[in-house]
Structure 1
């Protein structure tokens, strides 16, 4: 008896705590009042039902390999690889001859300029690294000073 009472209480609590389903009103649009759109609202469920309850089962029946000759059904549904590739007519032409790409030409002046640019970039990176380390030390020093002032 006590079990049923607690079960009913839990059910009532769930009903009270369950919120309404979140739904909102869809604003009216003038394009929905077109007579053909209204007819589509009525005919669409009918067509959907006919497709799934009549035409798809009928297609499954007539597309069985043993019944295809009787029903006149043919296998390829549109073009695709399962329908086979089109036959080639005539002779194919010869492929164009392959030529090697031209060898890259790099002058010694270009290589030297690239080397100098790389050295300058390396030096700038080292300088930026030193500046970042110095800024980190300054921030650490400022943090220690701030903490020291809070203790006083």
Structure 2
């Protein structure tokens, strides 16, 4: 084996050892680097079939929370002997903020779920192809 081919093979093996894709860490012992990269590519293509969850509920969350906040604020204002309209305004404002926060939380959960599903597909694909996945 020529020195150039030996250096190229060593560089590929080192890159396989350090290579992580989609946070998948594969034990590179006795792994053919070319086959590894081909399998990793195919598994990435499969993982792209995971559908992100829709979290376009901002308007619905805000409207629902604003209405609840207004109703609670009006009831609180009426119980305390006030007019209820000031309480409704304050409750609506609080509901508006609450709806936006709820939407943000839903969006974060959807993103985390998408990442976990993508990671799971990658891991299962590489394990199914005979690799030892360490994480």
Structure with the higher fraction of residues in helix conformation: 2
Same fold (TM over 0.5): no
Structure whose CA Rg is larger: 1
Q: TM-score, normalised by structure 2?
A: 0.33
Higher relative contact order (CA 8 A, sep 6+): 2
Normalization by structure 1: what TM-score?
Answer: 0.30
